[in-house]
Amino acid sequence: MSEQESKCRLDKWLWAARFFKTRSLASEAVDTGKVHVDGDRVKPAKEVRLGQRIHIRRKEMEVEVVVRGLSTQRRGAPEAALLYEETPESISRRENLTVTREHEHARRERGMGRPTKRQRRDIKKFTGIDW
């Protein structure tokens, strides 16, 4: 492996691994503390090396990955997936979050949100307004 291939900027790697749509978004996430390398807060220009653990937090999603490959070029999703390996703890947390979100959605109280078709008809009758 040459000197160029043995190191890579963190923001470029995050972009190439398809965690962020643009390098500027990746850089902003690193600056705001949403990305940690080996448990430490870092800067976007930090060099990523093989075997490092990267913790990424986006909205409700938290992912912890181990770097398995380096690239500064953005490629297709199957090739990008070869650049990292998600830890088993991260996978289980993500699955638990998915199940929890499904249950929360199912617990929506009746009558909350948009009116049903029947309720809309009743509203039209009552107000006399035809939308």
Tell me how far apart the alpha carbons of residues 18 and 80 are, in angstroms, rounded to a whole number.
7
131 residues of the chain, pLDDT tens digit each: 444 467 899 999 999 999 999 999 999 999 999 999 999 999 999 999 999 999 999 888 899 999 999 999 999 999 999 999 999 999 999 888 887 777 666 566 766 788 889 988 998 999 888 76
Strand ranges, E, within 78-123: 84-86
Rounded to two decimals, the pTM is: 0.74
**1-90 has CATH 3.40.50.10320 classification:** no
Tell me how far apart the alpha carbons of residues 43 and 36 are, in angstroms, rounded to a whole number.
9
Please work out, in degrees rounded to the nearest 5, the angle formed at the alpha carbon of residue 83 by the alpha carbons of 81 and 85: 70
pLDDT at 105: 60
CB atoms within 10 A of CB 30: 24
pLDDT at 129: 81
Please work out, in degrees rounded to the nearest 5, the angle formed at the alpha carbon of residue 53 by the alpha carbons of 52 and 55: 145
